[in-house]
Amino acid sequence: MLPIDLSGKRAFIAGVADDAGFGFAIAKAMFQAGATVCVGTWPPAMNIFLNLLERGKMDDSLVLPGGGKMSFERIYPLDAAYDSLADVPDEVRESKRYKERGDYSVEGVVRAFLADFGERPLDIVVHSLANAPEVRKPLMDTSRAGYLAALSVSAYSLTSMVRNFSPILRPGGSFLSLSFAAGERVVPGYGGGMSSAKAALESDTRTLAFEAGRRFGIRVNTISAGPLASRAATAIGFIDAMCAYSKANSPIPRDLDAMDVGVTAAFLASPFGAGITGTTIYVDNGHHAMGMAVPPKAAQGGPTV
């Protein structure tokens, strides 16, 4: 056997607010591999997430293959749109969903880790964050404010996290983010600047891998995942159609499972991934390799040559 072993490592998964998305699957895979797992949750979603956990609504999802149950070591409020608390507008800071959450900025979460666990408490940081307030608008109709908001939360936040978290990562640490095909090819309807944000995320992955690698010995990669009908993805408005199209036109015509991404993330964070950095890894049933849609009859009939 050649098992993925993350024993003794601590992972921080930023962007977990339910049990339906890639972030949760990554957390579960890393926990199963032996890591302790902390998560970061957007403050407006935090009460709902905590209530789901406390009331046992997520118990089935927390169960591990072979027995046992995942638990979170810490749940931190995080809004990666803000590098520091000083950047938060007064109206946000005083709103009821933020007011009692302490310092939920990127710098604030770093300080919380140091206070909770001491010097260099982390090994793995996962950026599972994306938001575009105008995602249902075509790019041509997206406002400047909407476009910049998408890039800020969905792309620049990775740069901020690499800058702020790298000094507290142990030797051999790694970062991982989540991208999508729209960063490379046109996906009509995936708007509001989100396609631009994914393109920036993949470009920044390469540059950050070089800079963080030379400065801290840290690796930076991204997974370009196929579409998944998670709760967050419903904001796009046609996620079911995206999933159906991807399934029909992939070399392996199957539904993508969130754990496909989870186990790949665990591998990349493990010693087995020590030579991989600055790379976009495709976990999409091979859809990225296709240059033409499969004719409808062939798609309905399954694999053909």
Residue 5, in any domain of the structure: no
Predicted confidence (pLDDT) at residue 214 exceeds the cutoff of 50: yes
Mean pLDDT, the chain, as a whole number?
94
Q: What is the CATH number of the domain that holds 282?
A: 3.40.50.720
Residue 153: both structure tokens together = 């939360």
The pLDDT score that the predictor gives to residue 1 is: 78
Residue 289, in any domain of the structure: yes
Question: Which pLDDT band holds residue 177 (cuts at 50, 70, 90)?
Answer: very high
The pTM of this model reads 0.94
φ, ψ (nearest 5 deg) of residue 297 = -65, -40
Residue 54, in any domain of the structure: yes
Question: In degrees, to the nearest 5, what angle opens at C-alpha 291 toward C-alphas 285 and 297?
Answer: 75
223 in Cβ contact with 238 (< 8 Å) = no
| Higher pLDDT pick, 303 / 90 | 90
Supply the range of the domain harboring residue 49: 10-301
CB count within 10 Å of CB 257 equals 14
Q: pLDDT tens across 254-300, in order?
A: 999 999 999 999 999 999 999 999 999 999 999 999 998 888 665 55
Residue 1, in any domain of the structure: no
Nearest to 150 by CA among 92, 85, 217, 200: 200
DSSP codes, 159-194: HHHHHHHGGGEEEEEEEEEEE-GGGTS--TT-TTTH
The pLDDT score that the predictor gives to residue 233 is: 66
The pLDDT score that the predictor gives to residue 240 is: 87
Residue 199, in any domain of the structure: yes
How far is it, in rounded angstroms, from Cα 179 to Cα 20?
17
SS3 readout for 234-275: HHHCCHHHHHHHHHHHCCCCCCCCHHHHHHHHHHHHCHHHCC
Residue 90, in any domain of the structure: yes
The pLDDT score that the predictor gives to residue 305 is: 46
Q: pLDDT tens across 13-49, in order?
A: 999 999 999 999 999 999 999 999 999 999 999 999 9
Residue 99, in any domain of the structure: yes
Q: pLDDT tens across 222-265, in order?
A: 999 999 877 676 777 778 888 999 999 999 999 999 999 999 99
How many domains would you assign to the chain?
1
Residue 294, in any domain of the structure: yes
Q: pLDDT tens across 122-155, in order?
A: 999 999 999 999 999 999 999 999 999 999 999 9
